[in-house]
A and B are shown apart, each in its own frame.
Chain A
């Protein structure tokens, strides 16, 4: 039996009643079949031996997952279909308070799950899309890229028309299938990179449960939308994650206590920034008046660092993300994008800690309207770009007033930018 982390899952369509249809999967990279609830009794037997077969998996909503006991496989069943948010009942595009288009994205969910359950494999799935017109192969390619880029697996699910078409050897269905399988094959050859950890300067600490869950998860979502990377940790595991962090956001209402209080006190003394609710931080010692003022935070000096207490609480996650970003300062941004449009960036650090891999996902699924450039403060010796279906190739790096920049060519779903010489520390 393969470990969950080695599985590459495919959802067997309900209308495939004949085990011989498994021949369609033979050249594909899937090694795990998820059977539907109504699968014929002999189907599992016919597939076992060639595939790992899983039945009746306990998919859960993100909010229902117990992070203290995640198991070997975290199954998140309420992921979304990645897209640019469309206003209900209209052709217009929704915009958030930033004026940026709203994006339906799962990267933050996957990264959160990976941080909170580092020993587990993370799988995500969504309910079938309501609108049949959205079921083009491009959407499924993006969904696969999103899952793999962030280190999860998304079992490939076939729209009913495609499943039937494949069974009937329909050319359009075959073309659809080939596109999606190609994307998965491309990623399967890069599974190690899929596991590279986030490079972030912000640690978000919460138990992600009860009344803490909403502000904590919405923060992760909206910070990711700002291209502000973070690591997430449970309170009892936060100490080990503090290395390299510039700031900690402690979301929970419960007062800091025990080892975490001591660890954050030390973090402050060394120059870190702690953001929390006033009642949560009341046990902190050595707070001094600070000259820094903020419309929504009371800021205290502490050692070489700062403790920022939110006066208004966490009622507005948008402001929470904005304030956290600016309080810690954009100076700590690992990378920034120009003309980003509907592209989200997420930086990951290579095992040698000298290579930075920036995952870029284009939620509009077509080339950017303007030329996109990626910038970093730290010197870059060389850069490479790679897209599904393409070859890894060297990219031009240019020096501008703000740092080192890599101009990007338009891409449909995903582009990896690898920067060498960009040390994490």
Chain B
């Protein structure tokens, strides 16, 4: 992929080259790219500078987004009115609006032509701006962060109509491809803005797992259309199709390879995350680890608690970035099923590495800024 350098992305070229590769790479051949870590104590004035420094360590925002259309996938998991105790969602399970706004501003200042903020909003087809309002956020400052900022709920086809197909190189583990909202295709740069969290089904949820929310409910939701996407079906989760494989996605989309596969979410979900990471190249991952939660991905997981790692992590390869973030959480990114944080699930880091998306081997990943040892914030402490 883009080892140690800033990607010069042309999205179609990237996808074509990924497709051209006929066989999975060996783990040792999986690409590596620099990951940067910065300390940041809160979401105040220092945040913008920290994020700017982080991007500079990766080669600078200008080289990444100058003159480009940028799609920013944020993480708003679960209901917008659900909180971990009294902790606002943005300080627990959601990426903080200040991080999103600051990034968009940096992209705008760096010459981005257009920025699209996208998310598959929890169980709904409502406009993303309205979802943000329900969470208690005002979307107006986000919209004003750069010259042309658009919002899109990618659970449905939305303003562009129709879906774009993303093919998983080598056929993937489970899904040979995905049909997604065109916002993920009609862009030059795709950014995953995630939260530093554990996950009940996938061990950790970082930049790669964040992209699971890109799968539209019209095709992959519990009430998805049988043959075609049903634009009125965005009213539930993805449990039936994705977590347990109890029904297929809409027949118009690439069908999963279900023959004999376990109907176990802890087997399926890591594979889906890995397949998505191969099919849908993410050019920049930014992980909000300033205020977050430990013990799970949302307040619905028992025993969760708010934590304050006070750090931001960013990288150009999603596997490398998530591997470093996993290490920052006090886990071994080389861990396999049965070892923390993957005690009960397969490691999507390993599965994505097997697909040649990137390496999880810290020895091969250059880390800029704060060293991993100094950034380590044990989530299971």
Contact A400 B88 (CB under 8 A): yes
- With a cutoff of 8 Å between Cβ atoms, the chain A residues found around residue B134 in the complex are 330, 336
Query: Is there a chain A Cβ closer than 8 Å to B17's Cβ?
Result: no
Contact A338 B299 (CB under 8 A): no
Q: Which of A1-9, A276-284, A369-377 contacts B (4 or more CB under 8 A)?
A: A369-377
Contact A407 B126 (CB under 8 A): no
Known: A295-B231, A326-B127, A330-B133. A402 touches B138 (CB 8 A): yes
Contact B86 A373 (CB under 8 A): yes
Q: In the bound complex, how far is the Cα of B80 from the Cα of A336, in angstroms?
A: 11
Query: Is there a chain B Cβ closer than 8 Å to A401's Cβ?
Result: yes
Q: What does the 1/0 interface line of A329-342 toward B look like (CB < 8 Å)?
A: 11101001111100
- With a cutoff of 8 Å between Cβ atoms, the chain A residues found around residue B130 in the complex are 326, 329-330
Contact A329 B133 (CB under 8 A): yes
- With a cutoff of 8 Å between Cβ atoms, the chain A residues found around residue B96 in the complex are 401
Known: A340-B81, A370-B299. A326 touches B86 (CB 8 A): no
Query: Is there a chain A Cβ closer than 8 Å to B123's Cβ?
Result: yes
Query: Is there a chain A Cβ closer than 8 Å to B59's Cβ?
Result: no
Q: In the bound complex, how far is the Cα of B88 from the Cα of A403, in angstroms?
A: 11
Known: A330-B130, A330-B133. A293 touches B159 (CB 8 A): yes
Query: Is there a chain B Cβ closer than 8 Å to A97's Cβ?
Result: yes
Contact B83 A373 (CB under 8 A): yes
Q: In the bound complex, how far is the Cα of B232 from the Cα of A403, in angstroms?
A: 32
- With a cutoff of 8 Å between Cβ atoms, the chain A residues found around residue B125 in the complex are 295
Q: In the bound complex, how far is the Cα of B130 from the Cα of A329, in angstroms?
A: 7
Known: A293-B159, A326-B126, A329-B130. A401 touches B85 (CB 8 A): no
- With a cutoff of 8 Å between Cβ atoms, the chain B residues found around residue A403 in the complex are 136
- With a cutoff of 8 Å between Cβ atoms, the chain B residues found around residue A400 in the complex are 88, 136
Q: What does the 1/0 interface line of B122-141 toward A look like (CB < 8 Å)?
A: 01011100100111111000
- Please give me the residue from chain A that is nearest to B237 by CB atom: A99
Q: In the bound complex, how far is the Cα of B130 from the Cα of A293, in angstroms?
A: 15
Q: In the bound complex, how far is the Cα of B126 from the Cα of A400, in angstroms?
A: 24
Known: A293-B159, A295-B231, A401-B98. A331 touches B133 (CB 8 A): yes
- Please give me the residue from chain A that is nearest to B137 by CB atom: A402
- Contacting residues of chain B (33-86) with chain A, CB-CB under 8 angstroms: 43, 81-83, 85-86
- With a cutoff of 8 Å between Cβ atoms, the chain B residues found around residue A370 in the complex are 82-83, 85, 299
- With a cutoff of 8 Å between Cβ atoms, the chain A residues found around residue B138 in the complex are 377, 402
- Please give me the residue from chain B that is nearest to A322 by CB atom: B126
> On chain A, which size bracket covers the interface?
20 to 34
Query: Is there a chain A Cβ closer than 8 Å to B235's Cβ?
Result: yes
Contact for B86 among A99, A322, A336, A371, CB less than 8 A? A371
- Please give me the residue from chain B that is nearest to A336 by CB atom: B136
Q: In the bound complex, how far is the Cα of B88 from the Cα of A377, in angstroms?
A: 15
Known: A99-B123, A402-B137. A371 touches B88 (CB 8 A): no
Q: In the bound complex, how far is the Cα of B90 from the Cα of A171, in angstroms?
A: 52
Q: In the bound complex, how far is the Cα of B98 from the Cα of A251, in angstroms?
A: 41
Q: In the bound complex, how far is the Cα of B133 from the Cα of A329, in angstroms?
A: 8
- Please give me the residue from chain A that is nearest to B97 by CB atom: A401
- With a cutoff of 8 Å between Cβ atoms, the chain A residues found around residue B86 in the complex are 371, 373, 407
- With a cutoff of 8 Å between Cβ atoms, the chain A residues found around residue B90 in the complex are 401
Q: Which has the most chain A C-beta neighbours within 10 Å: B82, B97, B98? A: B82
- With a cutoff of 8 Å between Cβ atoms, the chain A residues found around residue B159 in the complex are 293
Q: What does the 1/0 interface line of B77-107 toward A look like (CB < 8 Å)?
A: 0000111011010100000111000000000
Q: In the bound complex, how far is the Cα of B140 from the Cα of A377, in angstroms?
A: 13
Known: A295-B232, A326-B127, A330-B134. A402 touches B83 (CB 8 A): no
Contact B136 A339 (CB under 8 A): no
- Please give me the residue from chain B that is nearest to A338 by CB atom: B83
Contact B83 A375 (CB under 8 A): no
- With a cutoff of 8 Å between Cβ atoms, the chain A residues found around residue B137 in the complex are 401-402
- Contacting residues of chain A (377-413) with chain B, CB-CB under 8 angstroms: 377, 400-403, 407
CB distance from B239 to the nearest CB of A (A): 13
Contact A371 B85 (CB under 8 A): yes
- Please give me the residue from chain A that is nearest to B231 by CB atom: A295
Q: In the bound complex, how far is the Cα of B97 from the Cα of A17, in angstroms?
A: 67
- Contacting residues of chain A (39-57) with chain B, CB-CB under 8 angstroms: none
Q: In the bound complex, how far is the Cα of B108 from the Cα of A296, in angstroms?
A: 35
Q: In the bound complex, how far is the Cα of B316 from the Cα of A213, in angstroms?
A: 59
- Please give me the residue from chain B that is nearest to A339 by CB atom: B83
CB distance from A229 to the nearest CB of B (A): 16
Q: In the bound complex, how far is the Cα of B85 from the Cα of A293, in angstroms?
A: 37
Q: In the bound complex, how far is the Cα of B136 from the Cα of A167, in angstroms?
A: 53
- With a cutoff of 8 Å between Cβ atoms, the chain B residues found around residue A99 in the complex are 123
Cross-chain pairs A/B with CB under 8 angstroms, 29 sampled: A293-B159, A295-B232, A322-B126, A329-B133, A330-B130, A330-B133, A331-B133, A336-B134, A336-B136, A338-B82, A338-B83, A338-B88, A338-B136, A340-B81, A370-B82, A370-B85, A370-B299, A373-B83, A373-B86, A375-B136, A401-B43, A401-B96, A401-B98, A401-B136, A402-B88, A402-B135, A402-B136, A403-B136, A407-B86
Binding site for A on B (CB under 8 A): 43, 81-83, 85-86, 88, 90, 96-98, 123, 125-127, 130, 133-138, 159, 231-232, 235, 299
Beyond the given A371-B83, A373-B83, A402-B135, please list 7 additional residue pairs across the A-B interface where CB-CB is below 8 A.
A326-B126, A326-B130, A330-B133, A338-B82, A370-B85, A375-B136, A401-B88
Binding site for B on A (CB under 8 A): 97, 99, 293, 295, 322, 326, 329-331, 333, 336-340, 370-371, 373, 375, 377, 400-403, 407
Closest 7 CB pairs of A and B: A402-B136, A330-B133, A371-B86, A371-B85, A338-B83, A407-B86, A400-B88
